[in-house]
Amino acid sequence: MTATTHTIYEGKFSAREVEPNRTPGVARQLTAGSSTSNQALTATCSRISIRAVTADIRYSIGSSAQTASASTSHFIAQNERLELVVPEGANIAVIRDASTDGVLELTELL
Whether residue 93 is contained in a domain is answered as yes
Whether residue 11 is contained in a domain is answered as no
Domain extent, residue 93, equals: 23-109
22: pLDDT confidence band, cut at 50, 70 and 90? confident
Beta strands, E only, the chain? 24-32, 37-40, 47-53, 57-62, 74-76, 81-85, 91-96, 102-109
CA 11/CA 61 separation, integer angstroms: 36
Residues 73 and 26: beta-carbon distance below 8 Å: no
Q: Which of 65, 79, 77, 78 is nearest to 36 (CA)?
A: 65
Q: What is the pLDDT of residues 35-81, one digit of tens each?
A: 999 999 999 999 999 999 999 999 999 999 999 999 999 999 999 99
SS3 10: helix
Whether residue 73 is contained in a domain is answered as yes
The whole-number pLDDT of residue 6 equals 46
Higher pLDDT, 12 or 85: 85
Whether residue 64 is contained in a domain is answered as yes
Whether residue 4 is contained in a domain is answered as no
CA 52/CA 32 separation, integer angstroms: 9
CA 23/CA 54 separation, integer angstroms: 26
* Per-position b or e across 28-58, b if 16+ CB within 10 A of its CB: bebebeeebbbbebeeebebbbbbbeebbbb
The total of structural domains in the chain comes to 1
- pLDDT at residue 8 above 80? no
Whether residue 12 is contained in a domain is answered as no
Whether residue 9 is contained in a domain is answered as no
CATH code where residue 69 lies = 2.60.120.10
Whether residue 3 is contained in a domain is answered as no
